[in-house]
Amino acid sequence: MSDAARLYRVVLRHILDLMPPDMLAENCLTLAMLITGILRGKSGQLRKIANAVQYEPKKESLIDRFRRFVRNKNIEVEVTYAPCNEIILKAIRQGSIKLMIDSTKMGGHCICLMLSVYYKSRALPLAWVTFKGRKGHSSQQVQLKLFKQVKALLPVDVPVVILGDGEFDGSVVVAWFINETDWQFVCRTDRTNKVFYQDEWQALHQLPLEDGEESFLHDVHFTEKNQIGPLNILVIWHEAKQEHWFFVTNFQTAAEARNNYAFRFTIETLFSDLKGRGFNLDDTRLWHPERLHRLILAAAIAYFLLITLGVTAIVSGAIRQLVRTDAFYHSLFQLGLFYLDHIFNESLAFPSLIDLPPPDTFEHIVLV
């Protein structure tokens, strides 16, 4: 049996275990082939995905099958991905949940806005929206829709931290954090935003700060128009850009805000894995956001399976046959790819890929 056929059988078995019972068998089969093609073909183009799948009829018919899937309005992305979210959130609910939000360009003038969760030096997708746009910024209404969707998924008894870059500091969103959740947050904010400080409204870049100076402003009100607060402003000096960066937060100390914001970089590595360094979704030729939305569904499940495979390599001890073990130089995503090749090369049985252990039950710190 070919590697493609073996992988498809494994993926299909897991899809049938994961998917809602009312999902049509035909859609399960197509989704399994999409995931298989993404894992083997590492491309966002439907033709290249199809070429990586063993399929007895003509490849053109498989490409058409993929096109029908991404166009199918009856494919409910949130419902289909829900079992993966349940496994992810079950694994991390012992500690605080760190959520990272960011956007990236994909397809033909499309933007993907994604909320991910921190897991062992990696970000795992939880939910995403896609829309037309040439720039990375999204509206506060789109952001709020995504936040509300994820809030409904989260356990109510676990602390939540939101980490966002400059486009997620909108006053409407910050007000929602304060009034509708008990989440803590650190979001970079534009230097032109105004805060009420020292008895007057001042733009952040007008604060009396010297080059290299850092600060933490307590109990200020945010934006002259909405006057949200009291909250705090973290000011750091970006050495490479030789400028101050500003963050709006409800953490009570600069150290807490900085230490938590450091986790935000993991969503950048997630986008790298989904795009140029991994699945190459950026080369997809899909121009319709709703079709891209369904393609990302297949890629997100493929990513989840690979991360689980990487974790299994560590927990089972198979990592000793794959890479150096005196120091960790490879991410869970890379380990998953290595382990997948190892399974094929050595004709090994596939492990179960639907159990994700809590992150504190094994060691893995990526050094570079």
Collect all residues with Cβ–Cβ distance below 8 Å to 211 and sequence separation of at least 6.
Answer: 237, 242
Residue with tokens 């399974």: 343
- Distance (Å, whole) CA 349 – CA 10: 10
Residue with tokens 């733009």: 203
Q: What is the pTM of this model?
A: 0.94
Amino acid 368: pLDDT: 43
Asked if residue 208 has a cis previous peptide bond (ω within 30° of 0), the answer is no
**3-state SS assignment for residue 259:** helix
Q: Domains in the chain, ordered, with CATH?
A: 3-77+287-361 (no CATH), 79-269 (3.90.350.10)
- Distance (Å, whole) CA 280 – CA 264: 22
Amino acid 72: pLDDT: 97
CB 232 within 8 A of CB 251: yes
Amino acid 109: pLDDT: 87
Amino acid 56: pLDDT: 84
State which residues of the chain have pLDDT below 70.
135-136, 327-328, 365-368
Amino acid 363: pLDDT: 84
Amino acid 364: pLDDT: 79
Amino acid 239: pLDDT: 93
Amino acid 136: pLDDT: 61
Helix axes of 289-316 and 265-274: crossing angle, nearest 10 degrees: 110
CB 231 within 8 A of CB 250: yes
Burial of 297 (0-12, 13-18, 19+ CB in 10 A): buried
Q: CA 185: distance to chain centroid?
A: 17
Q: Which residue in 333, 273, 342, 277 sits closest to 308, CA to CA?
A: 333
Strand arrangement of the beta sheet that strand 228-238 belongs to: 122-132, 110-119, 97-106, 160-164, 184-189, 243-249, 228-238, 215-222, 194-197, 200-203
Amino acid 59: pLDDT: 87
